[in-house]
């Protein structure tokens, strides 16, 4: 019969050392993980879905307002208005502004957007705007997360299929589950060298559609901006697939301020600023990068914005509103003396104007009627307009205002 095993002093010391190492590793993981410094309060009640058939109110006033410094437009999904400021993302009742859920981190927000019935919130750490969280818009519950090297400033742009995250040197496309389908531009630690078609370029502007990504970039030793058209979901997301790429020889291609306005599955629209001898234009290209048309365009200011609605793209130039066909991107009409982008309420097109909200004919842009509105603490900032039921959400500067008829 074998003698029973006995624990030696060395065995005990080894076990203690292993336990200590496990404890230290656990502490390190907790201290460095995203869990630490995160405070979340999910919704205890569901906000009712808005009724889209109610008539547009004829009289409105400001109902509430809240800080919204991290978003770039008014964010609303169904019966939830979303605000993002500091390190906190909040889901609010559009009628009252009451917070029904919050998600807070001890990191500053870089950007926030909505798509896929979710909220995408990107936070900044030592690797740039690298930490992104996907939240359920109805209750604020965490759905997914991703982390990767990003620039210190990013813009999030949805296209109904992908989320485009663009910084000055790098961009990524994400699916609805936050899996990256494409990286383009600067790569901090490439697994395989020379996977990117160019290096050292500044990414000026980008937009995407389900089948195409258009990137306007300025590369070393090139006299003008370059338009590159990419596959949004190549076989290998670290190796971009270009459909075309060429330096813009068109007037305005070398002028600061050129940008991608919109992308459909068949066309790309660029804004090319005026030169000493030419006026600003909307330049249209096919998906292979061939120019197909140009149209005169009002000059863009620094506050120019684009909103994609179910009826078309609406370009706010800083003073005028221009409607573009959803597929061909051809201009349909333009109207002046507006303050921002438009929104749809009960099938009617609404745009912010100096003394209220204008109801426009979607086919012609003609003003049909006006809803008076007295805006408080307004200093001419561009207004991004959102809608939930019969409540308007006006984002002005770094604040969002709920606007509607009082009970």
Residue 79 within any structural domain of the chain:
yes
Residue 50 within any structural domain of the chain:
yes
- pLDDT recorded at residue 407: 79
Residue 42 within any structural domain of the chain:
yes
Residue 14 within any structural domain of the chain:
no
- pLDDT recorded at residue 397: 94
Residue 364 within any structural domain of the chain:
yes
Residue 26 within any structural domain of the chain:
no
- pLDDT recorded at residue 77: 92
In a structure prediction context, what are the per-residue pLDDT tens digits for the chain, which is 407 residues long? Answer: 555 555 566 555 565 556 555 445 444 444 444 555 899 889 888 888 887 778 999 999 999 999 999 999 999 998 999 999 999 999 999 999 999 999 999 999 999 999 988 999 999 999 999 999 999 999 999 999 999 999 999 999 999 899 999 999 999 999 999 999 999 999 876 666 788 999 999 999 999 999 999 999 999 999 999 999 999 999 999 999 999 999 999 999 999 999 999 999 999 999 999 999 999 999 999 989 999 999 999 999 999 999 999 999 999 999 999 999 999 999 999 999 999 999 999 989 999 999 999 999 999 999 999 999 999 999 999 999 999 999 999 999 999 999 999 87
Phi, psi of 401 (to 5 degrees): -120, 130
Residue 64 within any structural domain of the chain:
yes
Long-range contacts of 301-308, Cβ-Cβ distance < 8 Å, separation of 24 or more: 303/381, 303/382, 304/259, 304/271, 305/73, 305/340, 305/341, 305/382, 305/384, 306/261, 306/262, 306/341, 307/73, 307/341, 307/342, 307/343, 307/384, 307/385, 308/159, 308/262
Per DSSP, the three-state class of 54 is: coil
pTM, to two decimals? 0.89
Q: What residues does 146 pair with on adjacent strands?
A: 132
Residue 3 within any structural domain of the chain:
no
178 close to 146: Cβ distance less than 8 angstroms? yes
The tally of domains found in the chain comes to 1
Per DSSP, the three-state class of 185 is: strand
CATH number at 111 reads 2.130.10.10
- pLDDT recorded at residue 27: 42
Q: Please say whether the dihedral angle defined by the alpha carbons of residues 394, 71, 87 and 119, taken in this order, is positive or negative.
A: positive
**Domain with 50 in it:** 37-404
């Amino acid at each position: 019969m074998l003698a029973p095993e006995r624990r030696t002093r060395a065995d005990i010391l080894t076990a203690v050392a292993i336990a200590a190492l496990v404890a230290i590793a656990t502490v390190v993981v907790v201290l460095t993980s995203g869990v630490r410094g995160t405070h979340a309060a999910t919704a205890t009640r569901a906000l009712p879905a808005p009724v889209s058939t109610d008539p547009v109110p004829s009289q409105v006033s400001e109902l509430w307002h809240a800080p919204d410094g991290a978003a770039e437009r008014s964010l609303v999904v169904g019966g939830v208005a979303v605000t993002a400021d500091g390190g906190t993302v909040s889901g609010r009742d559009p009628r009252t502004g009451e917070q029904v859920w919050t998600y807070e981190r001890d990191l500053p927000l870089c950007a926030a957007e909505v798509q896929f019935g979710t909220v995408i919130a990107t936070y900044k750490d030592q690797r740039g705007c690298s930490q992104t969280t996907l939240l359920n818009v109805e209750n604020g519950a965490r759905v997914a997360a991703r982390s990767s090297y990003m620039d210190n400033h990013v813009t999030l742009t949805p296209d109904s299929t992908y989320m485009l995250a663009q910084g000055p040197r790098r961009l990524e496309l994400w699916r609805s589950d936050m899996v990256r389908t494409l990286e383009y531009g600067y790569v901090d630690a490439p697994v395989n060298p020379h996977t990117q078609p160019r290096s050292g370029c500044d990414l000026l502007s980008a937009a995407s559609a389900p089948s195409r990504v258009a990137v306007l970039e300025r590369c070393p030793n090139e006299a003008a901006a370059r338009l590159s058209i990419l596959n949004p979901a190549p076989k290998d997301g670290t190796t971009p697939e270009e459909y075309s790429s060429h330096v813009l020889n068109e007037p305005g291609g070398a002028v600061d301020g050129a940008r991608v306005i919109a992308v459909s599955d068949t066309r790309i629209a660029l804004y090319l600023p005026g030169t000493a001898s030419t006026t600003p234009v909307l330049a249209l290209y096919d998906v292979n990068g061939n120019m197909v048309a140009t149209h005169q365009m009002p000059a863009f200011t620094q506050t120019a914005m684009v909103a994609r609605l179910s009826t078309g793209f609406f370009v706010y130039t800083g003073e005028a509103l221009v409607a573009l066909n959803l597929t061909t991107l051809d201009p349909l009409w333009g109207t002046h003396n507006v303050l921002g982008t438009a929104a749809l309420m009960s099938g009617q097109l609404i745009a912010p104007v100096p003394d209220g909200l204008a109801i426009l004919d979607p086919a012609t842009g003609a003003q049909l009627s006006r809803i008076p509105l007295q805006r408080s603490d307004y200093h001419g900032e561009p207004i991004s307009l959102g809608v939930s039921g019969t409540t308007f959400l006006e984002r002005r500067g770094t604040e969002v205002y709920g606007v509607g008829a009082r009970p």
